[in-house]
Structure 1
Amino acid sequence: MRLSATSLEQVPPGIARYSYHRAAQDIGIVHFGLGAFHRAHQAWYTDLCMDSGERGWAISGVSLRSPTVAEQLNPQDGLYTLTERSGGESTTRVIGAVREVLVATEERETIIARLGSPGVSVVSFTVTEKGYARRTGGSLDLAAAEASFYPLLTDGLRLRRERDLPGLTLLSCDNLPANGRELERLFGEWLTERAPDLAAWVAAECAFPSTMVDRIVPATTPSDIDALENLLGVRDEGAIFTERFSQWVIEDRFAGPRPRWERHGAQLVRDVAPYETAKLRMLNGAHSALAYCGLELGHEFVHQAIGDPMLRGLIERLMRQEAATSLAPAAGQDLEAYADALLARFADPALNHRLIQIAMDGSQKVPQRWLETLAYHQRYGEPCPALIEAIVAWLRHVRGDRRPVDDPMAAQLAALWATEGSSGIAAALFGPQGLFSHVWRADEASLARLTRRLG
């Protein structure tokens, strides 16, 4: 029996669950990219808001391509469980915030109608870095954008304007530097080319807050679902497993009403940048380094990689001496304590966070996670040996001769390896005319060290 509104009474009373009347909750949020992270993070915060008495914040989730999440959640009336793990303990809660999952390739008009609904005031995004359809240099790839959220969002906003409805808060929750400003810039480029009549209205009526999101959410495994079924008495195909820690820092810049997420642990701030930069360079940068270096050494999970004494030293240096020293913290932001907390989170064996999951889409992540730090220190003539080692491991990974490479630039990177070889690949990517030179143009010493390590 699947988890659903009708089978919920079969769930043992000791399992926490929402207390609000779901049918009385209007849809107030449309979310693009209803994957595991959103269900563990923004949907969880929103569920807590409605549980404390707020109304009208049910979520309409949009899957841009795959029907998998719709197949998981729609037969369950949108219900799923969130299990928090720490050490040997876990707690499970039934989440009721998601009302429906719509598949963009099948339900385009319904999605546009949701965006144009008077009750909706927030559109949020977890579409991963590649979902923004940026070219390597940062400009919008119009062809790729056609297959992402841009056309749907445009038609939905046009419908709002035609109905004389207010604009929306467009809330990026992806790991991009200044993600709100980046979404605003890219959507502006799209509108200039595809809907110039709408550009001025969007600029005047919509808001693009930046955010920093943090919660480690490993991929759910079949064994996780089987074990949970024994606990619940019903089967949850949409189950999410995560750590207890969660952080959400949001720029206080909204176009209209919103849930009071700050009552449940979110932070509303004037400037997200210090928190965002620390997270990207310290947490995400360390995660990516653990992924590529750990896979090379035969590790499968994050806790195994950070438990390797050689990798532990590399990651400590990357976080404390290279990443943390490249940014200006906010008042009261203790980066040494942050590094301590990250190391403890990485070492928790309860999560079973797979390195290969983190290794996906490296070409979209490396610039903000590593290259911006390298560029900062290069201006002061300061070496970054840990980051250089991480880049070496990434370059070996994308060569593609050890394991399949899940990356939108996999073919391009493999072709560069084939033509440039180990003696030229570093210059082809980071040299004066390199593919990533707009972020970090490596000096001769760095190029020489990379080439020597790849030889």
Structure 2
Amino acid sequence: MTSNIFSAAKDTVKRPAYDRDKLTVRMCHIGFGAFHRAHQAVYTDQLIGMGKTDWAYREIELMGPTALLDGLAERGYLYTVVENGAEAQDARIVGSVIDHRHMANAGPEGIIAAISEDAIELVSITVTEKGYTLAANGGLDFENPMVKADLANPQAPKTVVGTLVAGLARRKAEGKKPFTILSCDNLPSNGHMTRRAVLDFARAVDAELAAWIEGEARFPSTMVDRIVPAMTEESHQVLATCAGYADPAGIVCEPFRQWVIEDDFVSGRPDWNLAGATFTKDVLPYENMKLRMLNGSHSFLAYLGYLGGYKTIADTMGDAAYKKAAHDLMVKEQAPTLEAPEGVDLGDYADALIGRYCNPNIRHRTWQIAMDGSQKLPQRALESIVYHLKAGTPYPRLALLVAGWMIYVSGTDLEGQPIDVRDPLADKLKVLASGDSAESIVSGLMQKSGVFPDELAKSAPLQAALIEAYQALREKGVKAAVASLA
């Protein structure tokens, strides 16, 4: 693959109409994954195209293969995003990335230098929940082997948190202001959690550094939304057909996108609101709405859809019982737990989500969404269950979601076929989920997995509800259990 692949682009492909030589690296982004390419980088590309900023990205990768970024560099840091709607496609070449560093090539020192140089105002992150190395209490996991290694040698970190602290330490040592750290992952209060993890690490290294970070640095929270399935052979073919060429770094995603950002930065930042983002003083209502209604219903469809034999969300939505159950979950069990953002109707939001899920051209695999459930379940389902237990209100769909997760993490579906469970706690969960009775499995996972908060781990009403849901899935079958929710 050579850098001239874009010469074959169809006339319909949107190209950067701006002079990329005039762009400046003012932002680093850790985690050059599919979501960042389809989200933050697209907002920035659009803003540059409007002539409203000259800020561009330096991409940072701390682990994994180098081929993706090396290939991107050979192609002038250009890549393609295809918005695959139910009725139309739209392709654009994105130009907001102009540099990169990979740990395998640059080493820890090169990474630290890259994020701490004078021009960098902002370091953003998309590394998924597990990349933050958090403990169950939300702070830094000091028992994590990688965290231990970084604390033993903080000048050569390999974790995200260790790298951020080392970069901030470099700034402080040079008498300069810190950079803003912008988490764009699906974590509850992601800015606050990132701040806590960074301060935990810094205090373990240098109390004076920690005090400086606490006083001077900023960690705005965000809410991000766009369905970006993992690229497959099929989606690469969709991209090639739409754009006119193959692009190894290209992405196929849904047309919808949303970005809500707490407006709290150390110094400057791009006016992403001009490209459709929302700056606000309080992200929490948006975040909770998205985590519980979108992500929660996605998890419902992922576990129960996978166990029901459906490979994608769109396939699952073709089953009327699943479609109704997902909508009812959002409206009847998640919406009552929420404070709606100003101007947002939660019923309309649920309707819009159902429409997005039904897009047949977005092949979002249930298996992909089911990954890392131990990190996702608390904010997507368990916090809502706490609300219902206190309010004395029913939550049968949430219970079936959690019971479906309990079967899924056993590593064997209801037909006796193996499940490739991808989760940081996979081995532990498999043991706990492989008991000899519904009672032992449910109680074991509730009390010993570390996934359930203390107020739920020993809740007799919750245990009874989960045993009932678990048995319904085993005895009726998944599709019949979902249909019975009606």
Q: TM-score range, shorter-chain basis? A: over 0.9
Q: State the SS of the aligned residue for 2:409.
A: helix
Q: Is 1:32 equivalent to 2:27 in the alignment? A: no
Counterpart of 1:408 in structure 2 is 424
Counterpart of 1:437 in structure 2 is 453
Amino acid aligned to 1:284: N
Counterpart of 1:75 in structure 2 is 74
Contact 2:406–2:445 at 8 Å: present in 1 too?
Answer: no
1:260 deviation in Å? 0.9
Amino acid aligned to 1:436: F
TM-score of the two chains, using structure 2 as the length reference:
0.89
Counterpart of 1:122 in structure 2 is 122
1:439 deviation in Å? 6.2
Q: Distance in 1 between matches of 2:388 and 2:448?
A: 18
Q: State the SS of the aligned residue for 1:34.
A: coil
Q: Distance in 2 between matches of 1:433 and 1:42?
A: 34
Q: State the SS of the aligned residue for 1:440.
A: helix
Q: Is 1:210 equivalent to 2:221 in the alignment? A: yes
Counterpart of 1:12 in structure 2 is 10
Over residues 49-69 of structure 1, what are the superposed CA-to-partner deviations in whole Å (9 max), with x where a residue is unaligned?
Answer: 111224441111112211253
Counterpart of 2:440 in structure 1 is 424
Partner residue of 1:366 out of 367, 374, 377: 377
1:20 deviation in Å? 1.8
Deviates more, 1:77-86 or 1:441-450: 441-450
Over residues 395-430 of structure 1, what are the superposed CA-to-partner deviations in whole Å (9 max), with x where a residue is unaligned?
Answer: 000001231100000011112234675322222233
1:203 deviation in Å? 1.6
1:371 deviation in Å? 0.2
Counterpart of 1:288 in structure 2 is 299
Counterpart of 2:474 in structure 1 is none
Counterpart of 1:244 in structure 2 is 255
RMSD, aligned CA: 2.0
Q: Distance in 2 between matches of 1:420 and 1:115?
A: 52
Q: Distance in 2 between matches of 1:139 and 1:419?
A: 31
Deviates more, 1:134-143 or 1:360-369: 134-143
Counterpart of 1:61 in structure 2 is 59
Partner residue of 1:162 out of 150, 153, 173: 173
Counterpart of 1:274 in structure 2 is 285
Deviates more, 1:167-176 or 1:104-113: 104-113
Contact 1:81–1:239 at 8 Å: present in 2 too?
Answer: yes
Contact 1:428–1:435 at 8 Å: present in 2 too?
Answer: no
What is the count of residue pairs matched by the alignment? Answer: 453
Counterpart of 2:20 in structure 1 is 22
Amino acid aligned to 2:76: D
Contact 1:30–1:62 at 8 Å: present in 2 too?
Answer: yes
1:148 deviation in Å? 2.0
Q: Distance in 2 between matches of 1:433 and 1:396?
A: 14
Counterpart of 2:482 in structure 1 is none
Amino acid aligned to 2:141: D
Deviates more, 1:433-442 or 1:26-35: 433-442
Deviates more, 1:343-352 or 1:102-111: 102-111
Counterpart of 1:151 in structure 2 is 162
Q: Distance in 2 between matches of 1:398 and 1:373?
A: 21
Q: Distance in 1 between matches of 2:325 and 2:244?
A: 45
Amino acid aligned to 2:131: G
Matches within 5 A, 1:300-311: 300-311=311-322
Q: Distance in 2 between matches of 1:117 and 1:433?
A: 42
Amino acid aligned to 1:74: A
1:240 deviation in Å? 0.6
1:166 deviation in Å? 1.6
Q: Distance in 1 between matches of 2:85 and 2:342?
A: 29
Contact 2:68–2:248 at 8 Å: present in 1 too?
Answer: no
Counterpart of 1:263 in structure 2 is 274
Over residues 288-325 of structure 1, what are the superposed CA-to-partner deviations in whole Å (9 max), with x where a residue is unaligned?
Answer: 11000001110011011122122122212210011110
1:435 deviation in Å? 4.7
Counterpart of 2:105 in structure 1 is 106
Amino acid aligned to 2:45: D
1:454 deviation in Å? 3.0
Contact 1:428–1:434 at 8 Å: present in 2 too?
Answer: no
Q: Distance in 2 between matches of 1:421 and 1:56?
A: 61
Specify whether residues 433 and 393 from structure 1 end up closer, same or farther in structure 2 by C-alpha distance, changes over 3 A only: closer
Q: State the SS of the aligned residue for 1:27.
A: strand
Contact 1:431–1:437 at 8 Å: present in 2 too?
Answer: no
Counterpart of 1:379 in structure 2 is 390
Amino acid aligned to 1:152: T
Counterpart of 2:40 in structure 1 is 42
Contact 2:136–2:450 at 8 Å: present in 1 too?
Answer: no
Q: Distance in 2 between matches of 1:168 and 1:421?
A: 53
Q: Distance in 2 between matches of 1:70 and 1:432?
A: 40
Q: Distance in 2 between matches of 1:169 and 1:331?
A: 27
Task: Structure 2 unaligned segments of length 5 or more: list them.
Answer: 151-157, 413-417, 472-486
Counterpart of 1:343 in structure 2 is 354
Contact 2:31–2:61 at 8 Å: present in 1 too?
Answer: yes
Contact 1:427–1:434 at 8 Å: present in 2 too?
Answer: no
1:229 deviation in Å? 3.2
Q: Distance in 2 between matches of 1:316 and 1:53?
A: 41
Contact 1:429–1:437 at 8 Å: present in 2 too?
Answer: no
Specify whether residues 418 and 304 from structure 1 end up closer, same or farther in structure 2 by C-alpha distance, changes over 3 A only: closer
1:97 deviation in Å? 0.9
Over residues 326-369 of structure 1, what are the superposed CA-to-partner deviations in whole Å (9 max), with x where a residue is unaligned?
Answer: 01112212101100100000011011111111011000000000
Over residues 212-250 of structure 1, what are the superposed CA-to-partner deviations in whole Å (9 max), with x where a residue is unaligned?
Answer: 000000111223324433554443101111111111011
Amino acid aligned to 1:28: R
Counterpart of 1:297 in structure 2 is 308
